[in-house]
Amino acid sequence: MEVDLLSGPERVPVSPVAPALEARRVSKVFVGRAGEATLALRDVGLEVQRGTFVSLIGPSGCGKSTLLRILGGLEQPSTGEVRSTTRQERGGLPAVAFVFQDYGLFPWLSVVDNVAFGLRMAGMGKRERHDRARAWLARMGLAGFERSYPEQLSGGMRQRLSLARAFVTDPEVLLMDEPMAALDAQTRLLLQEDLVRLWEETKKTVVLVTHSLDEALLLGDRVVVMTARPGRVKLDLPVGLPRPRNASSATGVAFSRMKADLWAALRDEVEKSLEHS
């Protein structure tokens, strides 16, 4: 199967300040065992400025997670490029950290050792890495659970543990793939507020993949809407809501209007994805 990757180039906005991450005409083709080619992403252009929170939404199967992995270097694009102004390592610590829906925790390690794992891989001594891990556990409301194991924690506690492990290495960029999708509604609201608070305190560069319009608007400085597969950027919506935000931020007129705009852009793409599923 011949796949045309290069038609319809998309202009990437030019910023006077170099972005933390930039995707330039990124396309991705997956080839199956029988040799069939699936075009997951097509000519994606995206800038993520330093210290900003970008929410990424789109229909299922549009390539959101693939784009996130490409931005973080876990996948390579078939064509196009990703540019980063982050330092690749700082004293052995990675500049980019991932947070996944399935937590990505090590079941055989205690809570404190899960948080300290990245510090251990960077060569930090046990006492220092455990001190830093305990400080982040306390910050995430998990003090007293240091010697527990992930299976002994609730879903919300596991995700707070996953966040602590990401933040403890002080990365420049956080890439988050639906980290709250498996949580119940009440726990999800609490964790969203935790994440808002952490972002306000640290001003990390964050890209969050989510299916929730409310979550995208509550957390993001911008919401990027992707088309049905092959995924492209359809809409890049600035979120002008004042910070700090909490659950009550979702009750105002401005929030409702932006949510309606997002759904108007997304609905056709969801219908297209269902037609081809």
Contact call for residues 192 and 55 (beta carbons, < 8 A):
no
Any domain includes 165: yes
| The pLDDT of residue 64 is above 80 | yes
Position 86 scores a pLDDT of 76
Position 17 scores a pLDDT of 66
Any domain includes 155: yes
Please give the share of the chain, as a percent, with pLDDT higher than 90. 67
Give the count of beta carbons closer than 10 Å to the beta carbon of residue 217: 24
Angle of helix 155-168 versus helix 111-121 axis, rounded to 10: 20
16-43 residue pLDDT tens: 468 999 999 999 999 988 888 999 999 9
Any domain includes 215: no
Position 113 scores a pLDDT of 97
Any domain includes 118: yes
Rounded CA-CA distance 268/272 in Å is: 6
Lowest mean pLDDT across 86-95, 133-142, 184-193: 86-95
Any domain includes 123: yes
Q: Which pLDDT band holds residue 211 (cuts at 50, 70, 90)?
A: very high
**38: helix, strand or coil:** strand
**Mean pLDDT over residues 83-100, rounded?**
77
Give the count of beta carbons closer than 10 Å to the beta carbon of residue 123: 10
Rounded CA-CA distance 275/254 in Å is: 32
Any domain includes 264: no
Rounded CA-CA distance 227/44 in Å is: 10
97-112 as b/e, with b when 16 or more CB fall inside 10 Å?
A: bbbbbebebeeeebbb
Q: Which two tokens stand for residue 239?
A: 């979120």
160-177 residue pLDDT tens: 999 999 999 999 999 999
Position 58 scores a pLDDT of 95
| The pLDDT of residue 88 is above 60 | no
Q: Is the pTM of this model over 0.85?
A: yes
**Mean pLDDT over residues 110-121, rounded?**
94
Side chain identity, residue 253: V
Bridge partners, residue 237, by sequence: 223
Structural domain tally of the chain?
1
Which residues does 8 contact at the CB level (< 8 Å), separation at least 6?
42, 43
Any domain includes 142: yes
DSSP 56-92: EE-STTSSHHHHHHHHTTSS--SEEEEEE-S-SEETT
183-216 as b/e, with b when 16 or more CB fall inside 10 Å?
A: beeebbbebbbbbbebbeeeebbbbbbbebbbbb
Q: Which two tokens stand for residue 69?
A: 């992995």
| The pLDDT of residue 276 is above 90 | no
Place of tokens 């306000």: 200
Any domain includes 141: yes
**221: helix, strand or coil:** coil
Range of the domain at 114: 107-170
Give the Cα-Cα-Cα angle 150, 156, 158 (nearest 5 degrees): 20
> What is the radius of gyration, based on Cα positions, of the chain?
19
